[in-house]
């Protein structure tokens, strides 16, 4: 079985056809998906999905790309993290692609999330774009190895991956790894210790080959795992088993479904 470690199925293109999306997951052997919080206004949607479906869980956080976003305080993050269906803090991190100029506000938002994760004992879901050096630096400064987490939708080089591994983080690969021009990411997927790897869709974005350019959904995480298996010269089942084991090790608040258990 597979796990989609990062998706946004509360977004309208997927939430409007939720029964089909969940059915496709089951048909493709995807036993669970983690629905990621990115804003305060949308958080109730994320939580409702997790509360109403046994095979969906939630995280709480504020994405780093909007300087005007309504914040969660550290105490508010901590309060939401106490919910039994909330299993991680984020999406959080740094984004220097969409945001320019004085980004101290972004750094402070990131530090707030890290501190909440440490206090809650929950892993972080990290977004980093054109900001890897500062992302790693702040994680180190804030002692993020105490809570751990995942570098989601990884697009950096092997040196950045090694730095993340050194502070106890996992690396998650999205459909980008299947793209023909993604040589750097393919290299990391080949070199990565299998026991520190996750797979994800980041749906509705970044659909893997053969669906590139189309709407993505959690069922398609299978194609990510299949491509990584091909890159590494191992069986798909080995990648599926390892990445699922890794997910439940990292997100230890989740009780792993028993074989044959209905979602």
Domain presence at residue 262: no
Q: Taking the mean position of all CA atoms in its chain, how far away is CA 152?
A: 5
The domain containing residue 219 runs over which residues?
Answer: 2-250
CATH number of the CATH domain containing 106: 3.20.20.140
Averaged pLDDT score across all residues of the chain: 96
Strand bridging mode 2-7 / 30-35: parallel
Nearest to 43 by CA among 53, 35, 55: 35
Per-residue pLDDT at 171 exceeds 60? yes
> Is residue 258 situated within a structural domain?
no
In angstroms, the CA 101 to CA 95 distance is: 12
pTM for this prediction: 0.96
State residue 57 phi and psi, 5-degree precision.
-125, 170
Separation CA 150–CA 125 (nearest Å): 5
Check residue 101 and give its pLDDT: 79
User: pLDDT digit string (tens) for 207-262?
Assistant: 999 999 999 999 999 999 999 999 999 999 999 999 999 999 999 999 998 765 54
Q: At which residue do the structure tokens 């409702």 appear?
A: 48
- 242 is written with which tokens? 């390892």
Domain count, the chain: 1
Position 239 in a domain: yes
Domain-located, residue 135: yes
Residue 259 lies in a domain: no
pLDDT average, residue stretch 19-29? 98
Between residues 48 and 260, the one the model is more confident about: 48
pLDDT at residue number 259? 65
Answer yes or no: is 260 within a domain: no
Nearest CA-CA partner of 263 in 14, 48, 45, 29 = 29
Average pLDDT over residues 100-108: 89
Binding-site residue numbers are 6, 8, 91, 127, 152, 202
Q: Is residue 187 part of a domain?
A: yes
- Does the pLDDT at position 99 exceed 80? no
114 in a structural domain: yes
Q: What is the pLDDT of residue 262?
A: 45
Binding residue positions for a divalent metal cation: 6, 8, 91, 127, 152, 202
């Amino acid at each position: 079985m597979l796990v989609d470690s990062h998706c946004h199925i509360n977004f309208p293109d997927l939430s409007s056809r939720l029964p089909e999306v969940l059915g496709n997951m089951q048909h493709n052997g995807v036993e669970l998906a983690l629905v990621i919080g990115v804003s305060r206004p949308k958080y109730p949607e994320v939580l409702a999905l997790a509360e109403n479906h046994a095979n969906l869980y939630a995280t709480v956080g504020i994405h780093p790309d909007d300087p005007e976003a309504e914040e969660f305080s550290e105490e508010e993050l901590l309060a939401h993290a106490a919910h039994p269906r909330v299993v991680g803090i984020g999406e959080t991190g740094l984004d220097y692609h969409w945001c320019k100029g004085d980004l101290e506000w972004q750094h402070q938002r990131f530090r707030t999330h890290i501190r909440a994760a440490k206090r809650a004992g929950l892993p972080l879901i990290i977004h980093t774009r054109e900001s890897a050096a500062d992302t790693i630096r702040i994680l180190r400064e804030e002692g993020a190895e105490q809570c751990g987490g995942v570098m989601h939708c990884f697009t950096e080089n092997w040196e950045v991956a090694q730095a993340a591994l050194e502070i106890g983080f996992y690396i998650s690969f999205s459909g980008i790894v299947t793209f023909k021009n993604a040589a750097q990411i393919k290299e990391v997927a080949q070199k990565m210790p299998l026991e520190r790897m996750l797979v994800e869709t980041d749906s509705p974005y970044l659909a893997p080959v053969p669906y590139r350019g189309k709407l993505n959904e959690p069922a398609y995480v299978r194609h990510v795992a299949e491509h990584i298996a091909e890159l590494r010269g191992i069986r798909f089942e080995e990648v599926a088993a390892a990445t699922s084991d890794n997910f439940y090790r990292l997100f230890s608040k989740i009780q792993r479904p028993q074989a044959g258990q209905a979602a």
